[in-house]
Amino acid sequence: MKERFSSERMEVIYPYIKNKEVLDIGCYAELRGLIHNVKNEKSWIHGFLSKHSKHTVGIDIVPDKIDVIKKAGYDVYCMSAETFSFKKKFDVIFAGDVIEHLDNPGLMLKQCRKHLKDDGLLIITTYNVFSIDYKIANIVRFFNNDLEVHPNHTCFYSPTTIKNLLFRNGFKINKMIFVNQPVASRWDLAHKIKAKMKNFFGYLFPFIKYEMVIFASISEFPKTLEEIGIPVDENIMMGGKPIKKK
């Protein structure tokens, strides 16, 4: 019998993390007020990874939360997504809803490339700027030329911008899947109905689903702008280094 998961995101990730050595960047995510009931939170992605992988190591920057998770028996460390360091490499690195919070996402990708096995897989999830959520918000907030966003988010990503960012930092996208927002049991009825309505339209039109799941592997850094078809004269950065036109 096929195993059922609490979110579409878990379902699409599962085949790639099963029996693998995994690094989870941002392992505290989704616990919020449930931190003292870690073992029973089915929507917690780190718990899911730990259960189904060969072994999962987690990192986050919230010291007190890391202490609680560690006491619950998980292998977690207080480290930054942009500067983490281990003396080992991983089969899979998972960064769930992290990249949109960072000051410098290129630093995280540099560390991921350093810690990923040659045949390893980087899995990133981030909100889809063309999702139905943002399309509605664009209409509602049209006249003030802004969007209501999470106060800790520093940027939006579309399929094209995340592809460009990964390519400039030595990754190629193997697959991108759009997934619906999971409906949390702790939400009030109105919030649940709203989410289910958006998810219904997402099933009809996958490209407007709530979130992107990106599967990427290590590739060579481009050496010239011509390689990526950029018809400009300015210098740009690739993998933290300037790259010039011939």
- Please check whether residue 65 lies inside any domain of the structure: yes
For residue 190, pLDDT over 70 is answered with no
- Please check whether residue 136 lies inside any domain of the structure: yes
- Please check whether residue 1 lies inside any domain of the structure: no
Q: Which residue has the higher pLDDT, 8 or 219?
A: 219
At residue 57, what is the residue type? V
Q: Which residue has the higher pLDDT, 233 or 23?
A: 23
pLDDT at 44: 84
- Please check whether residue 167 lies inside any domain of the structure: yes
pLDDT, average across residues 172-201: 71
Could you report how far apart the first and last alpha carbons of the chain are, in Å? Answer: 57
- Please check whether residue 239 lies inside any domain of the structure: no
- Please check whether residue 231 lies inside any domain of the structure: no
Residue keyed to tokens 């969007």: 147
Average pLDDT of the chain is 80
For residue 173, pLDDT over 70 is answered with yes
Confidence of residue 123 (pLDDT cuts 50, 70, 90): very high
Looking at the 3D structure of the chain, how many domains does it have? 1
- Please check whether residue 115 lies inside any domain of the structure: yes
Count of CB atoms within 10 A of residue 32's CB?
12
In order of 12, 212, 225, the CA distances from 171 in angstroms are 20, 16, 16
Domain encompassing residue 184: 8-220
> How many degrees, rounded to 5, is the angle at CA 39 between CA 35 and CA 40?
90
pLDDT tens digit sequence for 65-120: 899 889 888 999 999 999 999 999 999 999 999 999 999 999 999 999 999 999 99
For residue 133, pLDDT over 90 is answered with no
The CATH number that applies at residue 114 is 3.40.50.150
Confidence of residue 1 (pLDDT cuts 50, 70, 90): very low
- Please check whether residue 137 lies inside any domain of the structure: yes
Residue keyed to tokens 């390689």: 227
pLDDT tens digit sequence for 53-63: 999 999 999 89
* % the chain with pLDDT above 70: 63
